[in-house]
Structure 1
């Protein structure tokens, strides 16, 4: 233990003398600070706008005046996707999923106002977020910090001296890992403190109820990710003859893991599982609603069957004799049929998304960068599955709104009447304002089992790799 601590102190002193390492550390810290501050400003601005617009649309819904319920269902309202405090750290898919959606009868509209639409094609390379700095740029700092950890000892002859004084390869290796870990903790400490301060502001968040748990898990997985890169860098230096060879090897690994592999996996997943165009998707839905899912029961046939069913059930000869407005029942039946068609097509579309994601998850077993990227978005509530959960809850809200409008029409108006019947604000008040709560961190993480296995597996692998290499390394003589 004494040798390990002595080696750690020596490595810290040497690293602090290296101007390049110190400069890179300052640059990383500045980038993290800029990303965190910029993300927070964006969060505050968007949260304020979303809150104002949500209140404005709520007032419009309640103040729409007396009108027929079905007209109110088409009048509709807007729902806005709330920003989460952890999106300050990792923007994830928020840039691409849109911020608002219009809700009305018969139609499932797509999300509007995607921030990515206002950016150039360079947005594909990612926005400057704290997460991007940590999982893309920080490994570069680690490489420059540790690539010469062993090669310099070999070139200057100090490795032979250390071994002759009784130090083991194990104490030397773990002393170096400890030293670099301390340096990285010092560099990242201001950022981690800032992140916890910002997260504490969202502890009472109604959108993400488990902010504290997510923050702790984010710190944990990034600590393991950094440890993986740090250990691999020390191991490569141990096995390399010169610092130049170690640096080239590590840079090649960084390019492969961080740049080439993610892009290749994305391209392959899109090639194997191609998404239909939005136009084809919507046309397919409208065709099945118009002609029937089986292609043989168009809308008029379905309505005729529904009329016959209700006339038989109530033992009457005409729709006017029914104790309710059949038009409301018919409209709700059409709505439910359209919902069923939409669900079928939407599940097919999501199946493609899941297959594409599964390729990334499988690839993450061999690439810790992909694993940390997916887990970071998941814990920041900016991933695909959180977005899907929000869409599902919005759609459920839309369906309930339309159902109440149609049921009121059926129960309180007469067949053949439309403009004669008008509902009042009392009905509008029955539609509660939309609010959203994300799934818990552990509910979301169940979609990322392979990524968690990857991070834990890579951590175990590098520990065993260093242990094995230390045991097999031979003393230096002569």
Structure 2
């Protein structure tokens, strides 16, 4: 575009209406650059789609195909924004060298510096406890609730006395269910509740850190498309927390199923040294289905990424208005 300015100076003598047609010239340059980008972008996308379909055995779901469509559309809009920025920078630059320096500076700022700074700034504004601190806090809270492995523990001794009184027996061996399984179920319930309480507090801090990155996308379209594409592929912060929550629910249900099986199928009678250990048939494990991860629904996904979507729209509309403004201000 900068080189075109030199040519336009000569063409000016042949068409005095040329300054009035800067808008058309800029639009043509933008569309030409976008066409060049498309010659690379769409073949790569097509090859990527074919590779992905081959890896899935051509059995992709409708939801996956829609996510793919939004990714392709989102990146096309992003490249459209880049094309406009490149042409505008070139249009307001006096030489090709000046234009190149400006574009490299923009690239360093938007692609390298800002994404890293956003993460560091978010962590600075909302510091989160380290893993060691988190584990220590959870462990200290667990110690306050008692130790299920200690027969003299006050909390669990109270549970034992309550069970003996309820069933009107003198020893745990006389209970109609396995006492150890019951205690483990109670311990799992308490420990899971404490862990989830502290983990939710930790997630609230991470969410505040992530919000810094989200709001910076208003001034950086790269952050917008990055956040949106990560959400569509299930690799963003919300997908991460959703996965952890689903895994924790599954783990808890599996642990409580094991405790229930022990309560119902293992005798309270103490075994002798030469006796075969108590076992449970493997058929019982069929009661627990395999873990199936569920992606965040699209409507919730777009609700989570509304900032990124609005940011891209603002950039497109804003740059189009800026083209109109620049086309009137450029002087030969």
The interval holding the TM-score normalised by the smaller chain is 0.7 to 0.9
Check the 8 A contact 1:163/1:475 in 2, yes or no: no
**CA separation in 2, counterparts of 1:189 and 1:326?**
64
Pairwise CA distance, 1:475: 7.0
Match of 1:404 among 257, 263, 268: 257
Matched, 1:151 2:5: yes
Deviations 1:236-260 (A, max 9, x none): 2232333333222222222111112
Q: Where in structure 1 are there 5+ consecutive unaligned residues?
A: 1-146
Instruction: Label 1:232 to 1:163 Cα distance change in 2 as closer, same or farther (>3 A).
Output: farther
Check the 8 A contact 2:2/2:93 in 1, yes or no: no
1:436 matched residue in structure 2: 293
Check the 8 A contact 1:151/1:243 in 2, yes or no: no
Map 1:188-337 onto structure 2 (within 5 A).
188-201=41-54, 202=56, 204-205=59-60, 210-292=63-145, 300-314=153-167, 318-337=171-190
**CA separation in 1, counterparts of 2:62 and 2:298?**
10
Deviations 1:266-310 (A, max 9, x none): 222222333333222222222211223xxxx66523213323443
**CA separation in 2, counterparts of 1:342 and 1:474?**
62
Check the 8 A contact 2:167/2:175 in 1, yes or no: yes
1:168 is paired with a residue whose SS is: helix
**CA separation in 2, counterparts of 1:152 and 1:378?**
45
Instruction: Label 1:460 to 1:159 Cα distance change in 2 as closer, same or farther (>3 A).
Output: farther
TM score, norm. by length of structure 1: 0.61
Match of 2:310 among 431, 453, 463: 453
Q: CA RMSD in A?
A: 2.7
Q: Where in structure 2 are there 5+ consecutive unaligned residues?
A: none
Instruction: Label 1:160 to 1:402 Cα distance change in 2 as closer, same or farther (>3 A).
Output: farther
Map 1:91-170 onto structure 2 (within 5 A).
148=2, 150-154=4-8, 156-158=9-11, 161=14, 164=17, 168-170=21-23
Check the 8 A contact 1:324/1:415 in 2, yes or no: yes
Matched, 1:473 2:300: no
1:185 matched residue in structure 2: 38
Check the 8 A contact 2:12/2:18 in 1, yes or no: no
Instruction: Label 1:267 to 1:383 Cα distance change in 2 as closer, same or farther (>3 A).
Output: same
1:100 matched residue in structure 2: none
1:439 is paired with a residue whose SS is: coil
State how many pairs are aligned: 322
Pairwise CA distance, 1:406: 0.7
**CA separation in 2, counterparts of 1:308 and 1:284?**
30
Check the 8 A contact 1:331/1:406 in 2, yes or no: yes
2:247 matched residue in structure 1: 394
**CA separation in 1, counterparts of 2:39 and 2:209?**
39
Deviations 1:318-361 (A, max 9, x none): 54443322322211010010101110121122122212111111
1:423 is paired with a residue whose SS is: coil
Larger Rg: 2
